[in-house]
Amino acid sequence: MRDIFDDIYKNQPLDPTEAARRNMRPQLRRRFYKAVSVAPQEGGYAVLLDGRPVKTPARRTLAAPTQVLAQALADEWEAQQEVVDPAAMPLTRLANSIIDGVADKPDAVKAEVAKFLGSDLVCYRAGSPDGLVERQAQHWNPLIAWARDALGARFVLGEGVIFVTQPEATLTAAARAIPDEPWRLGAVSAITTLTGSALIALALAHGHFSTAEAWAAARVDEDWNMHQWGRDELALERRAAREVEMQAAAKVLAHV
């Protein structure tokens, strides 16, 4: 199994709809193991295949800081049937990125999340139609109020796409809420990228929003457009893939 994990992940588009878009059919490795288990190791719990530790693409041990999260990773590997499909393993992919990337450069990851605060999705509001204005207020105003009351961060709202410069004190206060722990930081980073909003990610991480509320807040504009113009099947497939990624990140936040 020395290079098996490199083979699994090499050149694989992580989003299954992206593979369809490229007209690609990934070459998937057949399932090569029988038993999946979890075992304690220093600092956490490792996932084992036939008693041997799973390795990340960077050849590090696939392990989680809690037994519950490690078992969730193991469940993804157990769920693979005839082939091992990385596109069907969102938690494993997120864990790989945290172990191989976030853990080595947390400051850089925190800085990327903080950048989103300067142009956060929920600060840019529509001027019309009234229905969209109301939906944005319903889902986003609680975030702005939470940031003000819980974080001491008073965000300025704008209308349309004209850039709004946020007060430096606001950005500094909100950035303090970005977690330091690599797993939580990795999950927040993933949610920020998926939603376009660091505030949504932080509200979820700090228990102010449920996963469902966070996802609904992220999809306000998209839902409105679909309501007005109809549903696009390819867009719905891509949305479903992103929601799976969101659920994986939320699971990390819930169990670390």
CA distance 248 to 90: 6
Domain contains 230? yes
Domain contains 179? yes
My answer on whether 124 and 244 are in the same domain is yes
Domain contains 222? yes
My answer on whether 136 and 193 are in the same domain is yes
Domain contains 97? no
CA distance 146 to 97: 30
pTM attached to this predicted model: 0.88
CA distance 149 to 39: 42
Model pLDDT, residue 4: 45
My answer on whether 129 and 69 are in the same domain is no
Domain contains 99? no
Model pLDDT, residue 24: 53
Domain of residue 249, residue span? 104-255
Model pLDDT, residue 9: 52
Query: Where residue 71 sits, what CATH number does that domain have?
Result: 3.30.2180.10
| 31 DSSP assignment | P
My answer on whether 247 and 127 are in the same domain is yes
My answer on whether 37 and 108 are in the same domain is no
Residue that finishes a domain, picked among 45, 63, 89: 89
Q: What is the mean pLDDT of each run of 10 residues along the chain (256 residues)?
A: 48 49 67 96 96 96 98 98 94 98 97 97 96 97 98 96 96 98 98 97 97 97 87 86 96 97
